[in-house]
Amino acid sequence: MVINFAAGPAKLPEEVLKEVQENLVNCNGSGISVMEMSHRSSNYAKIHDATINDLRELLNVPSNYKILLMQGGGTGQFAAVALNLIGKTGTADYVITGSWSAKAAKEAAQYGTVNAVLSKLAKYTTVPRQETWKLDPNASYVYYCDNETVEGVEFDFVPEVPAGVPLVADMSSNFLSRPFDVSKFGVIYAGAQKNIGPAGTTVIIVRDDLIGKHLKITPSILNFEQMDKNNSLLNTPPTFGIYVMGLVFKWIKRNGGVAGMAKLAAAKSKLIYDTINQSNGFYYCPVDVNVRSRMNVPFRIGSASGDDALEKEFLSKAEAEGMIQLKGHRSVGGIRASLYNAVTLAETQQLTNLMLAFYKNNKN
Q: What tens digit of pLDDT does each residue of 265-277 get?
A: 999 999 999 999 9
- Total domains present in the chain: 2
Is 133 one of the catalytic residues?
no
Same domain, 150 and 212: yes
Question: Which pLDDT tens digit goes with each residue over 201-259?
Answer: 999 999 999 999 999 999 999 999 999 999 999 999 999 999 999 999 999 999 999 99
Which structural domain range is residue 83 located in?
15-255
Residue 307's pLDDT is what? Answer: 86
Q: How far apart are CA 119 and CA 98, in angstroms?
A: 13
Question: Which pLDDT tens digit goes with each residue over 183-206?
Answer: 999 999 999 999 999 999 999 999
pLDDT reading at 344 higher than 80: yes
Q: How far apart are CA 293 and CA 351, in angstroms?
A: 17
Same domain, 221 and 261: no
Per the prediction, the chain carries an average pLDDT of: 96
Same domain, 303 and 220: no
Among candidate residues 100, 228, 251, 268, the one labeled active-site is: 100
pLDDT reading at 364 higher than 80: no
Give a yes or no: residue 9 inside a domain.
Answer: no
Strands (E), the chain: 3-4, 65-70, 91-95, 113-116, 142-145, 147-148, 153-154, 167-170, 187-191, 202-207, 283-284, 296-301, 323-324, 335-338
- Return the CATH number at 354: 3.90.1150.10
Give a yes or no: residue 280 inside a domain.
Answer: yes
Among candidate residues 11, 194, 268, 327, the one labeled active-site is: 194
Same domain, 291 and 355: yes
Give a yes or no: residue 5 inside a domain.
Answer: no
The full length of the chain comes to 364
Choosing from 240, 255, 270, the residue where a domain stops is 255
Give a yes or no: residue 135 inside a domain.
Answer: yes
- Return the CATH number at 31: 3.40.640.10
Is 170 one of the catalytic residues?
yes
Give a yes or no: residue 4 inside a domain.
Answer: no
Grouping H, G, I as helix, E, B as strand and the rest as coil, residue 354 is helix
Give a yes or no: residue 87 inside a domain.
Answer: yes
Residue 185's pLDDT is what? Answer: 98
Same domain, 39 and 173: yes
Among candidate residues 54, 93, 146, 170, the one labeled active-site is: 170
Question: Which pLDDT tens digit goes with each residue over 71-110?
Answer: 999 999 999 999 999 999 999 999 999 999 999 999 999 9
Q: How far apart are CA 72 and CA 91, in angstroms?
A: 23
